[in-house]
Amino acid sequence: MFAKLKLNHYLLFIFFAMVLLLKFFLVREIMFDENNLPKTIFLEIGYLLFILGLIELIPFQTLKKSVYILVNFIFSLLLLAILIYFDYFGYIVTIHAFSQIDQVGTIKDSVMQLLSPVYLALFADFIIIIILFILFQKKGTLEISAFHQRFKLFIPIILLGFILISINIFSQKDTNIANTVLAAEKQGILNYEILAVKEKVTAENVPALTATQQKELPNQIKEIKQISTLPEDELKYSGIAKDKNIIVIQAEAFQVFPLNLKVDGVEITPFLNELIKDSLYFPNVYQQIGPGNTSDAEFIFNTSLYSAPWTATSETFGDRVIPSFAKLLKGEEYKSLTFHANDVSFWSRNNLYPALGFDQYYDIRFFGNKDVIGIGPSDEVLYSKALPELKKLHNKDQKFYAQFVTLSSHHPFKIPAEKQPVRLPDRYKGTLVGDYLQAIHYTDKTLQEFVQNLKNEGMWEDTIFVLYGDHFGLQPSGLKESDFALLKEITGHDYTFLDQFNIPLIISVPGQNTTEVIENPGSQIDMLPTLANLIGLSLENYVYFGQDIVNYPDNLFGMRYYMPYGSFFNNEIAFKPAEGFTDGEAFTIQTGEPLAEFSQYQNDYDRIMKLLKLSDDYMNSLPQR
The binding site for Mn(2+) consists of 252, 294, 470-471
- Region of residue 86 (left: phi > 0; alpha: psi -120 to 50; beta: else): alpha
Q: DSSP H helical segments within 417-475, as ranges? A: 432-456
CA 67 to chain CA centroid, nearest Å: 34
Asked if residue 544 lies in contact with residue 324, where contact means CB atoms within 8 angstroms, the answer is no
Which residue numbers belong to the known binding site?
252, 294, 410, 470-471
- Contact (Cβ atoms closer than 8 angstroms) between residue 194 and residue 173: no
DSSP E strand stretches across 545-609: 556-559, 567-570, 573-576, 585-588, 594-595
Kindly write down the DSSP assignment for every residue of 335-403, as one continuous string: EEEEEESS-TTGGGHHHHHHHHT-SEEE-HHHH-SSSEETTEE-HHHHHHHHHHHHHHHHHTT--EEEE
Identify which of 315, 309, 347 has the alpha carbon closest to the alpha carbon of residue 563.
309
Q: Which of 560, 547, 464, 550 is nearest to 507 (CA)?
A: 464
- Judged on CB neighbours under 10 Å (0-12, 13-18, 19+), 108 is exposed
Closest CA to 81 of 58, 114, 49: 114
Asked whether 372 and 379 are in contact (CB, 8 A), the reply is: no
First to last CA, the chain: 67
Q: CA–CA separation, 500 vs 257, rounded Å?
A: 9
Rounded Cα–Cα distance for residues 507 and 247 (Å): 10
Answer whether 218's CB lies under 8 Å from 229's CB: no
- In angstroms, the CA 451 to CA 22 distance is 56
> 3-class DSSP state for residue 502?
strand
Q: Which amino acid is at 330?
A: K
Name every residue whose Cβ is closer than 8 Å to that of residue 98 and which is 6 or more positions away in sequence. Answer: 81
Name the catalytic one among 40, 106, 180, 294: 294
Is position 591 annotated as part of the catalytic site?
A: no
* 572 vs 586: CA distance, rounded Å: 10
Write the CB contacts of 445 (distance below 8 Å, at least 6 apart in sequence).
271, 421
Binding residues for substrate: 410
Q: Determine contact, residues 378/371, Cβ cutoff 8 Å.
A: yes
Q: Are strands 585-588 and 400-405 parallel, antiparallel or unpaired?
A: unpaired
User: How far, CA to CA in Å, does 359 sit from each of 337, 338, 425, 499?
Assistant: 6, 9, 46, 36
Distance CA 485, CA 431 (A): 11
Alpha carbons 180 and 429: distance in angstroms, whole number: 34
The residues near 589 (Cβ < 8 Å, ≥ 6 apart) are: 284, 498, 521, 569, 571, 572, 573, 574
> Which residues are catalytic, by number?
294
